[in-house]
Amino acid sequence: MNAAYLSALSALLGSAIGALASLATTWLTQRHQDRAQRRAQEATRQERLYGEFIDEAAKLYVDAMTHAMEDPTKIVHLTAVFSKIRLFAPPSVIEAAEAVIRRIIETYYDPNEDFAQRPDFKSRKNDFLTDFTTACRNDLRA
C-alpha cells in the first residue's frame, strides 16, 4: 500500500472517530439534561399536588371541627387530589394521606368545637398534617 494512501486513510479514520466521539458526547449530554429536566418537572408537579392536598385538608379540618357532615360532596376535591397523588407517591405518602382523610371524616362526626373558649393548638389533636408533610418531604428529597 502506498504511504500517501495510508496517511489519507489514517486521517479519515481519525476524523470519523473524532466525529463519532463528539456525536456520542452530545447525545449523552442531551439525554442527561432531558432526564434532569423531567425530574425537576416531576418534583414541581408533586410539590403542587402535595400543597393542594394540604390546603384542602386544612380547610376541611376546620370545617369538620365546626360543622357536622351535612354534604359529603365537600370532600370530593380532597379525594380527587388524593387519587392524583396515588399515581406517583410512595406508600408512606399514601398511608399518611389516607390517615389525614380518615381524621377529617372522623372529626365531622365528633362533637363540634366551641371556639368561644381558647382552643389548645399545642395538642397533637390539631397537628394532623405532620405525618403527611414529613412523608412528602422525604419523598421529595429521595
Q: And the C-alpha cell for 65? A: 371541627
Q: Write down the pLDDT at residue 119.
A: 62
Distance CA 113, CA 123 (A): 14
> Is residue 64 within 8 Å of 108, Cβ to Cβ?
yes
Q: Model's pTM, two decimal places?
A: 0.75
Distance CA 91, CA 105 (A): 21
Over residues 7-23, the pLDDT tens digits come to 888 888 888 888 888 88
| Average confidence (pLDDT) over 21-41 | 87
